[in-house]
Amino acid sequence: MVDDHNPDYIESKPLNTEIETLAPEATEEHASLSSESTSTPNHNSEGSTSSVTPSEDPSSGQIAPSLSASTETAEESGDQDYDDSDFAAALASFDREQAVESAAAQNLTAEEVIITGTVVKITDKHVVVDIGLKSEGLLPLDQVLDLQGVSKFQPGDQVEVVVEREEAHGGGYIVSHEKALRHKVWDKLEEAANSKAPVKGMVVSRVKGGLTVDIGIKAFLPGSQIEVRPVRNLDGYVGTEIEVRVIKLNKKRGNVVISRKELLEEEQNAKKSVTLATLEEGSILTGTVKNLTDYGAFVDLGGLDGLLHITDMSWGRLTHPRDLVNVGDEIQVKVLKFDKDKQRVSLGFKQLTPDPWLDATERYPIGAQVRGRVLSVTDYGAFVELEQGIEGLVHVSEMTWSKRMKHPSKMVKPGDEVDTIILSVNPNDRRISLGMKQLQENPWEQLEDKYPTGAIIEGRVRNLTDFGAFIEIEDGIDGLVHVSNLSWTKRIKHPSEVLKKGEKVRAIVLGVEPENRRLSLGVKQLQPDVWDTFFAQHRIGDVIKGKVLRTAQFGAFVEIAEGVEGLCHVSEAVDANGKPVELVVGEEHEFKIVKMNQEEKKVGLSIRAVGEEASRAEVELYKERESGKPHSGGGNKKGGNGGSSSSSSSSSTTLGDLLNWKRAEREGEDSND
């Protein structure tokens, strides 16, 4: 019957045909055999069982199988720890008749009788063995292969086997070397099982549910009994020697079940007791890394596992615990926290060395040049490791003087060695700011010399915004033309009204601020200033013509020259009689300049002042005409005061006189008509 755990194990069967359990009648048939006809006993190296080589009886043609002497026989001789010579001497005292009687008395089956045969040849499936029967024994080749797949026996070698059955059609006897070994070591295994003593064995192969281990015979090691914790890859155990404990025996079926887990648990518990007795917070211990996870490593401290969290592994940054330790590494750790009730231990590795940030300010003074390795690159900069546990950030704005760089990855990548300048150190926040552009020549420092105020430059429009246009004059240097500096005459709401992106333009340098990295440019300054021309040609009191451009609640804006506007306030938009004058967009009127501010480029206009100017002109004309007439009654005066009287009359002209004069003038004009 096939074993539940190992299909190679076959239940023993009684020997049939010529090989049967010896009966009393067989004893009489072989009684005539002399002691000389009995072959010399063979001895096994284990000393646990010895066998007699079968011999042929010429008178009967029957084969007498070899007899395995039992352990009890050796015990009767008073020798518990017998060896090969003692067992051979005891067996030699038996003659054939005694051997037959012993076999009958013990009721041995065929598979309990060990026969020593000679290897005749090796085929692709069997080892052919001469076992002294009428047919040769066929030993399956896979029973005698080593780990390299080479047969342990060669033609002419002696091999111990037991007969399992006779092949049909006279093909020979199927024999087993494994079962022969199993019988030899069985007593030792029973003793080991009873005493729970460990047994050494070699892992032969992986089978369903576990491993096959050679402990003298092939035993089954279930997967759950290999380690204290579940094991996924069993193939790694093949070919290794391990210590196990026999936990189950079935001699009838030839089954042996072993466990490695029991021994490991006992060993672990023993170590754990010692560890718990000495474990305390702050102590430094040596442990072995058992397992790695994304968040840390489990360290065996001696029967008790502690967690070494990834944050306590290094003062620097770790992406995974494997960057620092590997499974099987022996490391020193410090006990950070110990919960006796839950038996949980928190460990630290970086705590064994001083915190490098404690004296970072002294070791990394501002302005010092340092070299480091790029750890990672982000959208806002790159992190550079200066030493184990110390890393700094090179912000994207500190990488280059040029504003064109779109992403830090265009300049550096992880693993690069870069030179940097210390910009600032903050030990409390564990931050260091680094710069790379500071090692390059700053183009802004020589900008005032290259582009002094008033210099005319030519550049390409790189960007347009609501407040102006940025013009690149050289790599990394952009100047701003404010929207107010685009035209003297037009009111520009957006730079796109006069400029296009990528267009080449000429501009004049208005100012340079190297410390703020600012360059102010102007475009309209290259054109004549119509305001300067206007202020040079006009004065307050001038009456000029203007066209209404737009109106507002407070007045109207009037174009008084090309590109020059003035404001006529609503209070000034009245005629000579004080009536409001409606200012319509597009209409022309006469305006008098009442205010001028050249710095602010403002001109105040008035319609009312024009009417007042006309009234004053009429008064002057009336005075001139009155002064030319002789004064009535002037000839009667003495002293020639006629001129004086005329002057006095002119200076004392009243508004009524002016109105009367204007009425007479109009009547005269009407009569002429």
Q: Residue 181 corresponds to which tokens in the numbers above? A: 């070994």
Please say whether the beta carbons of 466 and 392 come within 8 A: no
Structural domain count, the chain: 5
Is the whole-model pTM more than 0.85? no
Of 390, 417, 439, which residue constitutes the final position of a domain? Answer: 439
pLDDT averaged over 10-residue windows placed end to end, the chain, 673 residues: 38 35 32 31 36 36 33 33 34 35 47 82 89 84 84 88 79 84 80 89 92 89 89 88 91 86 86 79 88 91 87 84 90 89 87 87 92 92 90 91 81 92 91 91 79 87 90 84 82 86 88 84 80 84 89 90 87 85 89 88 88 67 61 41 40 50 56 53
- Asked if residue 261 is part of any domain, the answer here is no
342 lies in the same domain as 416:
no
Q: Assess contact for 128 and 122: CB atoms under 8 A.
A: yes
In this structure, the answer to whether residues 41 and 176 fall within a common structural domain is yes
Residue written as token pair 């030179």: 419
Q: Indicate the residue among 526, 546, 561 that finishes a domain.
A: 526
How many residues are listed for the chain in this entry? 673
* Contact status, residue 563 vs residue 548, Cβ threshold 8 Å: no
Measure the CA angle with vertex 522, ends 518 and 524; round to 5°.
Answer: 170
Per residue in 461-518, pLDDT (tens digit) is 988 998 999 988 887 788 898 988 888 767 788 988 888 888 898 888 888 888 777 8
Show the tokens assigned to 299: 């360290």
CATH number at residue 366: 2.40.50.140
Q: Do residues 337 and 462 share a domain?
A: no
Does residue 289 contact residue 299 with C-beta atoms inside 8 Å? yes
Residue 661 included in any domain:
no
- The CA distance from 481 to 353, in Å, is 57
If we measure between CA atoms, which residue out of 284, 277, 287 comes closest to residue 343?
Answer: 277
For residue 613, the 8-state DSSP code is: H
Q: What is the pLDDT of residue 19?
A: 32
Residues 423 and 519 in one domain: no
Q: What is the dihedral of CA 274, 277, 280, 284, to 10 degrees?
A: -30
Say if CB 356 and CB 387 are below 8 A apart: yes
Residue 30 structural domain: 24-181
Q: pLDDT value at position 633? A: 42
Q: Are residues 534 and 606 in the same domain?
A: yes
Alpha-carbon gap, residue 442 to 435, rounded angstroms: 13
Are 30 and 176 contained in the same domain? yes
Q: Is residue 629 part of a domain?
A: no
Q: Is residue 619 classed as helix, strand or coil in its secondary structure? A: helix
Query: Which residues 6+ apart lie within 8 Å of 370 measured at CB?
Result: 364, 386, 419, 420, 421, 422, 434
- Tokens standing for 244? 């196990």
CA distance 421 to 439: 7
CB 150 within 8 Å of CB 188: no
Cβ atoms of 308 and 299 within 8 Å: the answer is yes
For 215, phi then psi, to 5°, come to -115, 30
Q: 603 with 567: CB under 8 angstroms? A: yes
Q: Does residue 573 lie within any of the structural domains?
A: yes
Neighbours of 23 (CB within 10 A): 12
Residues 305 and 399 in one domain: no
Same domain, 451 and 433: no
164: closest CA among 44, 16, 321, 312? 16
Domain end (from 439, 458, 492) = 439
Asked if residue 598 belongs to a domain, the reply is yes
- 402 and 506 both lie in a single domain: no
Residue pointed to by tokens 């005061």: 641
Looking at the fold, whether 378 and 317 belong to one and the same domain comes out as no
Are β-strands 564-569 and 555-561 bridged in parallel, bridged antiparallel, or unpaired? antiparallel
Do residues 555 and 584 share a domain?
Answer: yes
What are the φ and ψ backbone dihedral angles of 543, each rounded to 5 degrees? -100, 125
- Reference 287, options 311, 264, 267, 303; nearest CA is 303
The token pair that represents 296 in the structure block: 């840390």
Sorted by sequence, the CB contacts under 8 Å of residue 261 that are 6+ apart come out as: 224, 225, 226, 227, 228
666 lies in a domain? no
Whether 411 and 492 map to the same domain: the answer is no
Is residue 650 included in any domain, yes or no?
A: no
Residue 334: inside a domain: yes
d(CA 416, CA 554): 67
The answer to whether residues 115 and 161 touch, using CB atoms and an 8 Å cutoff, is yes
